[in-house]
């Protein structure tokens, strides 16, 4: 019989208390192609602590055109417009933009955080995939996680034309609106969210 080390319990409890009220950017890739990129891959299915679509959970098969899903409808209008323009162009190449996650309520993010800490065993590791309340671009509706792999592959070559940019190198599915990208191209990517100055608050 194995026992959980006492230090691990202390670390875990400290992490939970430190961020219990935080809302987070938390990636939920549904594409199986990302199963090795994110150990959180299995968290997308089902409801989280009773929280559902009204809090930002996105069912399978939802696209950027599905206004009936709050996780899509509550995205920033400028981001949504750019996504739909890009998706319309991508459709000509038989590529569909699926939304794995978009806008999220703070309650939903907090639930996801609790699951993340439990899964990673440390706040430090979870922070590579997570942002805090004040900074989470998903809570403000300014970020979207897209699938499937053909969509992210299409975007990697075309997104700047629509003002859409990948922000983190470790999250090829996470896109935000950067209008200046249509002229200048996308800004340099951060290795992961811990390198993003917006997350240092
Ligand atoms: Zn994201």
pLDDT of residue 113: 79
Helices (H), ranges, the chain: 6-19, 70-73, 77-91, 106-120, 123-126, 149-158, 181-184
Confidence of residue 43 (pLDDT cuts 50, 70, 90): very low
pLDDT tens-place string over residues 2-13? 455 555 555 554
Domains within the chain, CATH numbers bracketed: 34-200 (3.30.1380.10)
pLDDT tens-place string over residues 61-103? 999 999 999 999 999 999 999 999 999 999 999 999 999 999 9
Around ion ligand 1, residues with a beta carbon closer than 5 Å are 143, 145, 174
**pLDDT score of 134 more than 70:** no
State the pTM of this model. Answer: 0.75
Pairs from 162-170 (Cβ < 8 Å, separation ≥ 24): 162/82, 162/83, 162/85, 162/86, 162/89, 163/82, 164/79, 164/82, 164/83, 164/86, 167/143, 167/196, 168/192, 168/193, 168/196, 170/37, 170/128, 170/129
Using the mean position of ligand 1's atoms as its centre, give its distance from the Cα of residue 16 in Å. 21
Using the mean position of ligand 1's atoms as its centre, give its distance from the Cα of residue 196 in Å. 13
């Amino acid at each position: 019989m194995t026992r959980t080390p006492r230090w691990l319990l202390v670390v875990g409890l400290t992490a939970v208390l430190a961020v219990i009220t935080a809302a987070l950017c938390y990636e939920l890739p549904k594409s199986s192609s990302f199963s090795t990129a994110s150990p959180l891959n299995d968290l997308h299915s089902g409801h989280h602590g009773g929280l559902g679509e009204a809090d930002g959970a996105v069912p399978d098969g939802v696209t950027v055109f599905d206004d009936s899903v709050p996780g899509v409808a509550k995205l920033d209008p400028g981001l949504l417009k750019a996504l739909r323009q890009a998706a319309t162009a991508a459709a000509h190449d038989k590529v569909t933009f699926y939304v794995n996650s978009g806008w999220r309520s703070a309650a939903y993010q907090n639930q996801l955080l609790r699951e993340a800490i439990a899964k990673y065993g440390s706040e430090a590791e979870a922070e590579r995939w997570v942002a805090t309340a004040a900074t989470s671009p998903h809570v403000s509706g300014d970020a979207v996680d897209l699938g499937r792999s053909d969509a992210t592959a299409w975007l990697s070559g075309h997104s700047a034309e629509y003002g859409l940019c990948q922000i983190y190198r470790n999250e090829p599915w996470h896109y935000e609106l950067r209008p200046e990208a249509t002229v200048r191209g996308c800004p340099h990517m951060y290795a992961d969210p811990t390198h993003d100055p917006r997350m240092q608050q």
